[in-house]
Amino acid sequence: MSGQPHASDAARPRAGTRVAGRYRLEHEIGRGGMGVVWYAVDEVLERPVAVKQVTIPPSIAPREAEVLRERVVREARAAGRVRHDSAVTVYDVVDEDGTPYLVMEMLDARSLAQLVRDDGPLTPRETARVGLAVLGALEAAHAVGVVHRDVKPGNVLVADDGRVMLTDFGIASSQGDPTITATGLLLGSPAYIPPERARGTAGGPSSDIWSLAATLWTAVEGRPAYDGDGPVAILTAVVEGRRHEPVRGGALAPVLVDVLDADADSRPSVPALRTALERVAETASDDVPDVTPVTAQPGQREQTQVLAALSGAPKPTRPKQRPPSPHVRRRRIALAAVVAAGVAAGIAGWQLGGSGGSSIPLTTFHAQNGWTVGVPDGWVPAGFPDKSWREPGSFSTYVQIQVGEGANAKQSLTNLALGKPTKVGGFRQLSLTGDADQATLEWLEDTTSGAQLHLRDTYTEAGGKTYAFVEVAGAKDWAAAQKTFSAIRKSFRTS
């Protein structure tokens, strides 16, 4: 980590900028965590195109940023092989001044996310028809060895004439190649990341199908199946299978529930899913119940099956067991909205927050790469096994520890803060203190569920390593959590 902005962060093209000497950027048409989409003109072929500027999060080391850029370019080229009427065509991919750009087909359409926001949830029949189109695009991608990895409402486009398109293969991967997650990033939107990827595995075609079901859930229910106060809380809900109960899905609900199985091997096959969606699209009533949504409690699971949707009769099912958290895999995962460093080894003898005693009962956790920390008795692993823990009964109070290559602590946090206003809604910086060796950034952040989080990110640079200690709690719970947070900080030591 160098403490200097990556080229992709520094390069902020304006209207009129030409990419690769031929794509003239006209105006922004979208912005998200992985980049900015421009309306542009291909001056060679004289046609409109969509150009996505892929942003590299400022929170990762320059060496890893370079690896990520190379993989984005390679994997986007692989995605360009996908040919299907419901897959947005990737025309070109270029790397200019360290910034990857994807050049794609321009469509006059709204995203499924915008459609639901503007017009409300779709009917089960409409949702099933959208699902069939996207399923076809995914089948075409999988047939040429490409896994999309970012199926979500924002990447499904619906034109006024009813045409449905799957777009943004920008973080797709080719089977057999190293994936972008090897650099330490878990890319995608938390509510649509399948459990296997949340646990750190690369995922495969079945993961795309899970994300499709999560996307269709939002379309028909009007909100995601999984939510929480912040990205880690959402990922925890996904891993634990803790989701809302369906209230508007009608005949589509049992289909989606079955596909959202935490066990990839237990999900229905693509032909079975297609048959179920076709049945709903052809026969389902457009009437939906006018009821208040009910949030599922931990452990609750709908136990209907796709076969029940096909036959019209319930099928006996085995109880769904909550998947155990893995204990051996240690993936370096960073969410730009929460933390900013990757995982590596520690330095000898360093300790965060002093050596005072604590009245909080702690159990010492020994990390494989040498550091130790006291975990409060009763706390459970959060979304990132073996480096994050949360308070029982709370999905917003947690701590996370990450280690990366050394740099300037204050400059790193300054870069993180500078990137947040354009990437995270509701970001409000409270303080940034410290120096090059140790610094702390504290901020408030609004969540999609309407709650507000209070976060504190402490970086210490020593011995060529970066130690990131992240503390998160709901804003209303922040004061009460300080005693516990202090005890955890004081217990942290490196080998």
- The residues annotated with a catalytic role in the active site are 150
Question: What is the DSSP annotation of 209-238?
Answer: HHHHHHHHHHHHHSS-S---SSHHHHHHHH
Distances (CA, A) of 164 to 26, 153, 156, 270: 25, 12, 7, 19
d(Cα 109, Cα 103) in Å, to the nearest integer?
A: 17
Question: What does the alpha-carbon distance between residue 486 and residue 421 come to, in Å, rounded to a whole number?
Answer: 28
- Give the pairing type, strands 452-462 and 438-446: antiparallel
The answer to whether 466 and 346 have CB atoms below 8 angstroms apart is no
d(CA 70, CA 83): 23
Alpha helices (H) in 162-312, listed in sequence order: 195-198, 205-221, 231-240, 253-259, 270-283, 306-311
Q: Residue 226, Cα to own-chain centre: how many angstroms?
A: 12
Nearest-5° Cα angle at 327, 325 to 330:
105
CA distances (Å), origin 178, targets 99, 181, 258: 20, 8, 30
CA atoms within a 13 Å half-sphere pointing along the CA-CB vector of 174:
15
Whether the Cβ atoms of residue 34 and residue 419 lie closer than 8 Å to each other: no
User: Is 45 exposed, middle or buried, given 0-12, 13-18 or 19+ CB atoms closer than 10 A?
Assistant: exposed
